[in-house]
Structure 1
Amino acid sequence: MAKSPCIRAIPQIFNYKPRNEHDVRKHLTGFEGKEEAEKRHKSLLKFLKKYQPLDSDLITRLSRCRRNHRCRLQSCPMCMRRLRIWFCDQVAPLISAVPREWLWVTLIPERHCHPEGSLAEFKPQNLIEDLRRALRSHGIKDIVICGAIDYCMEIRKTVEFTPLYHWVPHCHLLVRISSKQQSLLRTAFSTNLPSSTLVDRPVHIAPLKSDGFEILRPISYCVKARFNSVYVPPRSESKPKAKRKKQRMHGRHQAELASFLARNKLKDRLVLIGAKRVQKSIVLSARLHVRKTNARATNFISYTDAFRFDTSW
């Protein structure tokens, strides 16, 4: 029997204080509060005990998570809330400098979908490498991408009304690229992510229309801690494109996803291209930003706090 991957804690970010102008808790209406995160944490523990009772290590770590002694697991709603606060504070200054030069991109690669019960076979780094390969194949170099991998359970009913359950990993990305290369970017992703019977629209690219404090909404959505199921009705000649419906993810699926996420590194969730995490900061490395907004980039790096991380995470 193969040895189960060990549980991995994300870097310590819970003593991090976001800057007031980028504090998502103060400026974004509807951002989850502590009480909501604690409630989902309790529900998740119940689901794990019921559907993943053999994962005692994860259950123990989550049950011991409390203030000043956080478990720092990506499956923990309370710890992921802190990760979202940190991510918003780091990415917001990059976008607020030139918000109209950013795009909102959603990618759904069918090759990375997995049936229910086999999510452990998904390799996040393979998906991220596919994105890098698509950019390289079209000669796209001067680009900044900040985003994350999201997860959804798709419930698709066939003509016989037998439900089929599939995990659909996908990416929500904030992309900065020159206007001249935007059509090339669309071509690069569309060529490598063709549509299929399982994924109707694998590539969605739109201008980022948010401004002011509202730019925090798409940033926080990239690393959202609540995951949903999507119900896809059976197709027919009269309804070739039936409307998809979001619904709460079933407890057994939440337990499977929690077990998977707890064994991922932080780099398995975040998608950073043309940018990188240096200790507790996200800094830019793409020439596009340095060439056009060098002064802003310098200011951003200078007032970003520095912390030490274990580089093995």
Structure 2
Amino acid sequence: MENSGIVERDGFSLGYSIEGEGIPLMVIGSAVYYRRLFSNTLKSGFRLIFIDHRGHVPSPAGQAGSDLDGLLDRVLDDVEAIREHLGLRDLIVAGHSGNAFLALEYARKYPAEVRKIVLLNTAPSNSSERQQQSIAFFEADASEERKDKFQQDFALLPGDIEREPERRFAHMCIRMGAHSFYDYGYDATAMWEDVHTNMPVIDVLWGDAFARLNMLERLEGLDKPVFIGLGQYDYLIGPLTLWDGIEEKHDYVRKVVFDRSGHNPMLEEPERFEALLAEWIHSVPDRY
């Protein structure tokens, strides 16, 4: 199997990168970005397949901002095309943040090849109402020092966007560091280096498609185990109470909170993250 390559879909050049050996674990998002978040220790026990979706590659010439109707389904079909190209079977599918919606929807649309689902640092919905809940949570829960750091960083965002409007999503993520990391002084600039952001696609997925989905509803009726990993200091998708009762309602769901992490426990608490994820993968039956 190739370690890296490109799958062409409707003029989009979707990249993939494969690292490690073992059970295949496909991470949907940016193949460039997510390779940086997962440690070599995890790669020693699993075959990690990092794949792009259309939000992280350039649009074909003349198509930027057009042909976005039905985008979610086409993105899910892209994931399936990459899986078929690589000949993957019986895989674990993972998504982090907004990409968790893609992981769950892919497993629902193409259940035959998915054995387990990993949803990391996501809220059940990306609706405007939920976003307001997250802002209120930050205001009520964050320390004054964290709030001051956020105000300082966020004041720089308009200048970032004016300089590089095509990287608006990346700049926003960097300047939201006080919402994102246990160590609110962490500078995420290097994480986003060379990560393409296709803003018309991202705006439709995050602003419309994910706002219409509610994972509390979409988890109904699954026959596959689901791992939900959350960070105690993740103000981007909090409050964590949005997920209260999910394990009691569905015996195939395991929720884990990482108490010294924000939005990226695989980076902030790698040893605990790897141990708990590996234990769950190896100990929980593939279907219920």
TM-score higher than 0.5: no
Higher Rg of the two aligned structures: 1
In proportion to residue count, which structure has more helix?
Answer: 2
Whose relative contact order is higher, 1 or 2, with alpha carbons under 8 Å and at least 6 apart? 1
TM-score, normalised relative to structure 1:
0.24
